Amino acid sequence: AQSVTQLGSHVSVSEGALVLLRCNYSSSVPPYLFWYVQYPNQGLQLLLKYTSAATLVKGINGFEAEFKKSETSFHLTKPSAHMSDAAEYFCAPAGNTDKLIFGTGTRLQVFP
């Protein structure tokens, strides 16, 4: 079964600093890999998805993620953090049924 590991349950950065949120998937390559974001008191929103068409995936709000098969990783990055990026971020693989298996999440805090 597909699974992911998100290293670091909490990440804190200063506004303007690089954001790096880590995700490693299980050894078998899933058909799809996703990053979802959950803002306080809101539903989960799709940030970006990997579908094997390109290893570098660009998402909304300046986020991107690079799929690295050799490292079984799909880390999420943003060059410059903004206060509005404070949220919980989830990495999730999906198979052909669209069922997502979420990681435990990483809470991003952004300090002024």
Shortest distance (Å) from residue 66 CB to other proteins: 18
Of 25, 35, 67, 90, the residue at the interface with other proteins (CB under 8 A) is 90
Output the 3-class SS for the chain: CCCEECCCCEEEEECCCCEEECCEECCCCCCEEEEEEECCCCCEEEEEEECCCCCEEECHHHCEEEEEHHHCEEEEEECCCCHHHCEEEEEEEECCCCCECCCCCEEEEEEC
Shortest distance (Å) from residue 27 CB to other proteins: 19
Look at residues 109, 87, 105 and name the one whose alpha carbon lies nearest to residue 7: 105
The contact mask relative to other proteins for 34-73 (x = CB under 8 A, - = no) is: x------xxxxxx--x-x----------------------
Please choose, out of 16-24, 28-36, 57-65, 74-82, the segment that lies near other proteins by the rule CB under 8 A: 28-36
Shortest distance (Å) from residue 75 CB to other proteins: 17
Enumerate binding residues for other proteins (CB under 8 A): 9, 31-32, 34, 41-46, 49, 51, 90, 92, 94, 96-105
